[in-house]
Structure 1
């Protein structure tokens, strides 16, 4: 039986830029990195508290290696304990954000990385 979601693969054009975004603006930490010197490179990041990690891959390389894969951006929803504080923090760091919205399940907003991949963060009720 499946008991947890371990990793999410994120395919990007610029891995270094993505690494800087997730670590510098979102406060994630690098927990693994590999480069075989032949184009296959990945960077694994995770929130400081741990949990499911994001593995950043080079989209062009993966497309050549496995053309059958869907390389679109996964729809990810992150949880936070203080959505207002996080919203203000990301805005101050120049992160593209949507409006704060109140939903029946909690308060949330969308944000985008430098490649315009959109994600959501929610403070659940």
Structure 2
């Protein structure tokens, strides 16, 4: 049985710029930076040390060449925060492109884009995550 989502692969055109975006602008930290010595590099990023799901940055062109059948498009990611207004202000001050804060039935949310114009969403969640039992 699957117990959790461990990593999300994010294929980017420029890994260094993506690392700078996620660490300097969004506030993630580098968990690991690996290279197989043959040009294959992957960088694991996390929003907190306690995060159960991390992002892995891969070189989009290299992965597409190695596995042409693989979809290297940007996944639709929804991040959670307990302080949406503070995060919105922080990203705005970092010159990150952000959308309007919108109230949805499930909570307030806004979109933001990285430096490669990939869009992501953030939702305010104050309650603990749901757990499912069988």
Scaled by the length of structure 2, what TM-score is found?
0.90
The residue aligned with 1:117 is: 118
The residue aligned with 1:98 is: 99
* Structure 2 portions without partners, runs of 5+: 127-134
What is the CA-CA distance between 1:124 and the residue it aligns to? 2.9
The residue aligned with 1:31 is: 31
Q: Which has the higher strand share?
A: 1
What is the CA-CA distance between 1:38 and the residue it aligns to? 2.1
CA distance in 2, matches of 1:96, 1:38: 35
What is the CA-CA distance between 1:51 and the residue it aligns to? 2.0
1:33-72 to structure 2, matched below 5 A, reads 33-48=33-48, 49-72=50-73
Scaled by the length of structure 1, what TM-score is found?
0.96
* Structure 1 portions without partners, runs of 5+: none
The residue aligned with 2:88 is: 87
CA distance in 2, matches of 1:70, 1:31: 25
Instruction: Show CA shifts across 1:55-112 (max 9, x none).
Output: 0000000011111100000000000001011001100000000101011110110000
CA distance in 1, matches of 2:6, 2:59: 20
CA distance in 2, matches of 1:81, 1:74: 23
Between the two proteins, the alignment pairs up a number of residues equal to: 125
CA distance in 2, matches of 1:25, 1:53: 17
User: Which portions of structure 1, spanning 4 or more consecutive aligned residues, are displaced by more than 4 angstroms?
Assistant: none
Q: How large is the Cα RMSD of the aligned pairs?
A: 1.0
